[in-house]
Chains A and B, each alone.
Chain A
Amino acid sequence: MIRTQGLSKTFVLHNQGGVELEVLKDVDLKVAPGECVALDGASGVGKSTLLKCLYGNYRISGGTAEVAGIDIAAASPRELLALRRGTVAYVSQFLRAIPRVSALDVVLDGRALRSEGEQLLLRLRIPMRLWSVPPATFSGGEQQRINIARSFLEPKPVLLLDEPTASLDADNRLTVIALINEAREAGAAIVGIFHDQRVRDAVATRVHPLH
């Protein structure tokens, strides 16, 4: 479902004297449906960068990345948008709040899945009185759960998870672990960053070290 070969990512900072930062080099990664691969490595080794490359957010400098049969580096903007709409969900650590849009509408994101969205918010313990409130003023943990609800609203074949439990309390951590495992058992191919050892042990089927 996901396959990279010799993937590299270098940032060229033109306004800092053309400094080149080589963040990823020669990454070979293969993830099959039903697998959850935990990326491992010290801070700064490029774990988040790899997820962003797979999502088509960062541009790939070398090598190839294929997600659900689409060559990410060669895909047109339209193809990437379609891939994100139907196939790939990406949970970042931060929620980008939109002025005036309620938490529930952020989760639904235009999709006609209101009752599913409400179920998910209940499951993630977002109090009902917050559903109609824009999440800009929510706590970090609440914002993260809104993000998770948005990404898990529809089952997607590919999940990219960047520290999905970082600011969650124990109960919500267990809920997110359950959501991840349910998605994997339903056949999703998952790549994630899980610093919390308990979470990693509970969800990962394999660890992939980055150097």
Chain B
Amino acid sequence: MTPLLQIFGVEKRFGDRVAIRDISFDLWPGEVLAVVGESGSGKTTLLNCISGRLAPDAGRVEYLTRHEGAKDVWRLSEAERRMLARTDWGYVHQSPEQGLRMGVSAGANVGERLMALGARHYGRIRGEAAEWLERVEMDPARIDESPLAFSGGMRQRLQIARNLVTRPRLVFMDEPTSGLDVSVQARLLDLLRSLTRGLELAAVIVTHDLAVARLLAHRMLVMKEGRAVETGLTDQVLDDPQHPYTQLLVSSVLQP
């Protein structure tokens, strides 16, 4: 078996400032990696570089495609990269408004990715959209409503359905729960947990919330000032942190 995603020495600068430097890791099929660290540590920049959204200045991002083996993501054509992002990958934004099209119905938001894959049968697309609304615990009767009519938690679940409908193998998530009330967060976390497990989905989740990492991730990568200062199994990093920064992070929260 080979890793699904391999990151080698990825680096990104903005002008003189180095946003991330020398980040390397492997992600295996079905594995969930949490990237933690405070604001400004480079978490989101890393996520963007490895998900084909922001070209790194150095390093390599290799993805194991379904039919053609491992490919350097940044050597693919723009069109190939877009195809990956629409089919084999998902990207869940912190704010659902960024990941949804607010002007079209819930059903269209979910069905759109199927159409990008060539689905044309309206009834089938609608049926599958309804099924996915149910899987993210939304009432399928609301399929024709606009996301504008939904609460924040519902929008976030709709965004997740939109991403998962094409059965991606890898999902990138940027603070997927942090904009939500605590009660809504717990529900979404449980949903994400059962979806990633049930679908054997690999995921990279950026979060500043160590409890989210504990619940969802197999492994963790701790970032500080653009560097990965510690990696390991989630329970190793949280229960026996080695780096001074990780120790500070873990001791600063109540029961991660």
> In A88-107, which residues have CB < 8 Å from any B CB?
96, 98-101
Contact status of A15 and B251, CB under 8 A, knowing A56-B233, A98-B193, A99-B186: yes
Residues in A whose Cβ lies below 8 Å from that of B193: 98
Q: How far is the CA of A80 from the CA of B232 in the complex (A)?
A: 10
Q: Is B54 an interface residue (CB 8 A)?
A: no
Residues of B close to A96: CB separation below 8 A? 214
C-alpha gap A131/B197 in the complex (Å): 21
For chain A, residues 80 to 125, give those with C-beta under 8 angstroms from any C-beta of chain B: 80-81, 96, 98-101, 110
Pairwise interchain contact A81-B239, C-beta atoms closer than 8 A = no
A15 touches B248 (CB 8 A): yes
| Residue from B186, B197, B251 within 8 A of A100 (CB atoms) | B186
Q: Are B239 and A52 in contact (CB under 8 A)?
A: yes
Q: Mark B172-199, 1 if CB is under 8 A from A, else 0.
A: 0000000000000011011001000100
| Smallest CB gap from B186: residue in A | A99
Q: Which residue of A lies closest to B242 (CB)?
A: A59
Chain B neighbourhood of A110, CB < 8 A: 197
- Mostly, the B contact residues are helix
Chain B residues in 8 Å Cβ range of A52 = 239-240
Set of chain B residues within 8 Å of A58, measured between Cβ atoms = 236, 239-240
What residue of chain B has the Cβ atom nearest to residue A78's Cβ? B28
Residues of A within 8 Å of B251, CB to CB, are 15
As a 0/1 sequence over residues 211 to 235 of chain B, the CB contacts with chain A under 8 angstroms (1 = contact) are 0001100110000000000001101
Interface size on A, residues (CB 8 A): 20
Q: Which of chain B's residues has its CB closest to A75's CB? A: B233
B247 at the interface (CB under 8 A from A): yes
Q: Which of A13, A80, A101 contacts B233 (CB 8 A)?
A: A80
**Chain A 22-67 interface residues, beta-carbon cutoff 8 Å to B:** 52, 56-59
Q: In this complex, what residue of A is CB-closest to B251? A: A15
Q: Interface on A for B, CB 8 Å cutoff?
A: 11-15, 52, 56-59, 77-78, 80-81, 96, 98-101, 110
Chain B residues packing against A (C-beta within 8 Å): 28, 31, 186-187, 189-190, 193, 197, 214-215, 218-219, 232-233, 235-236, 239-240, 242-244, 247-248, 251
26 chain-A/chain-B pairs, Cβ below 8 angstroms: A11-B240, A14-B243, A14-B247, A15-B244, A15-B247, A52-B240, A56-B233, A56-B236, A57-B236, A58-B239, A58-B240, A59-B232, A59-B242, A77-B219, A77-B232, A77-B233, A78-B31, A80-B233, A98-B193, A98-B215, A99-B186, A99-B187, A99-B189, A100-B190, A101-B190, A110-B197
Ranked nearest first, the 5 interchain pairs of A and B with the lowest CB-CB distance are A14-B244, A99-B186, A100-B190, A58-B240, A77-B233
